[in-house]
Amino acid sequence: KAGVTQTPRYLIKTRGQQVTLSCSPISGHRSVSWYQQTPGQGLQFLFEYFSETQRNKGNFPGRFSGRQFSNSRSEMNVSTLELGDSALYLCASSLGGSAVTGELFFGEGSRLTVL
Amino acid sequence: DAKTTQPNSMESNEEEPVHLPCNHSTISGTDYIHWYRQLPSQGPEYVIHGLTSNVNNRMASLAIAEDRKSSTLILHRATLRDAAVYYCILRDVGTQGGSEKLVFGKGTKLTVNP
C-alpha cells in the first residue's frame, strides 16, 4: 500500500511570504501529525489532527497552522515566513486509535528554504 | 515529557551486533519505550516498542531493564543500511484523548563500517 506522500518535496520562499504544505496519509489512517526538523533543534512536534480536529499542539507561534480534511489529508500553513522557518517539515500518519500501540509512518518531508 | 538520554554517536562493524543504550530514569508506569530511526534524507522509521518485557521483531530486539530505567536496542547483525540516527522515545499510554505526539531527543548516530 502507498506510503505517506508529502508535496512539494522542495520549495524556496522569501521572508514575509506564506507557504502551504500538503500531506496524504496512508489509506485508513485517521491521524496526521506534523514535525519540524532543523539542525539546531532537531525534530520538534508541531501539531496533530485526528478526524479533522486538532488533538495536540506543540510550542510554535500562531503563524504555524494546519487543518485536516474529511479524507484525512492534511495541510499545514506557515504565514509571514522568517529565515528561521527554513527546515524539513515531516508529516506522519497513523491509525490514531491508541497513543501507545500506534506506529507512526513518516513521509519523506518537504524541505523549505526561506531566503 | 519524560526525557531520555542516549550517546551522541556509536560505531560498529558490518555483520557484528550493535547495542544502543537509552537511559530513562524518570520513566513513569504508563510510559511505553519506542525506538525510531532516521536514515539519511528520509523521515523517521518505526523500529520497535515495549513496556516491560523484552521484545523482538524482524528489525531488532528491545531489552528493558527490570526497573525500566534503561533499555537497549539490539541490532543482531549490523549492515551498512542500518547506518542512521536512532531515537529512543517514551510515549505515555495515559495521554488524554490519545495523541501521536513524539518527543524526539538528539538520538544516537550509528556508523557502520564495512
Residue B5, pLDDT score? 94
Q: Quick check: B101 and A58 CB within 8 A? A: yes
**Strand B45-50 vs strand B108-113: parallel, antiparallel, or unpaired?**
unpaired
- CA-to-CA dists, residue A10 to A88, A109, B61, angstroms: 9, 9, 36
Residue A102, pLDDT score? 66
Q: Quick check: A43 and B100 CB within 8 A? A: no
For residue B13, the distance in angstroms to the closest alpha carbon of chain A comes to: 27
Q: Decide if A20 contacts A77 (C-beta within 8 A).
A: yes
- pLDDT by residue (tens digit) across A89-106? 999 998 876 555 668 899
Which ranges of chain A would DSSP assign to H, the alpha helix? none
Q: Can you give the length of chain A in residues?
A: 115
Q: Quick check: B91 and A100 CB within 8 A? A: yes
Residue type for position A69: F
- pLDDT by residue (tens digit) across B70-108? 999 999 999 999 999 999 998 876 555 556 778 888 899
Residue from A94, A99, A104, A109 nearest A27 by CA: A94
Residue A97, pLDDT score? 63
